[in-house]
Amino acid sequence: PALAGSWEALFHSGFPARFLLTWRADDATYKALRGPRLERAIGVIYRPATERASHYFKAALGDQFDAVLHFDETRAVEPLDDAAQSEAGEVPETFPFAV
């Protein structure tokens, strides 16, 4: 579950399950949500013992993004067909290491 005081917790408890939120500096939504809250970093190594320090940071979403598309529940992506599966063997080098 999201930490109290985070954008994720706010969106989970006070908004529809799926929504698009846009804002501009003169917009009422921007004014209501302009302060910083905790934002969760996705794609980091999960360490439960240090979750707050290593996975969350303060962010003002209205200053960081033009819009937020939120889905309260998601699931892992699945390949479209067998052709989408990668060949067995060494994984090719990718950005930024193969630059």
Token pair in block for residue 76? 């892992």
Residue 38 contacts residue 5 (beta carbons within 8 Å)? yes
pLDDT digits (tens, 9 = 90+) for 23-69: 876 788 878 888 899 998 877 677 778 777 888 899 998 888 888 99
pLDDT at 84 over 60: no
Q: Cα–Cα distance between 69 and 10 in angstroms, integer?
A: 14
Give residue 12's pLDDT.
92
DSSP state of 48: G
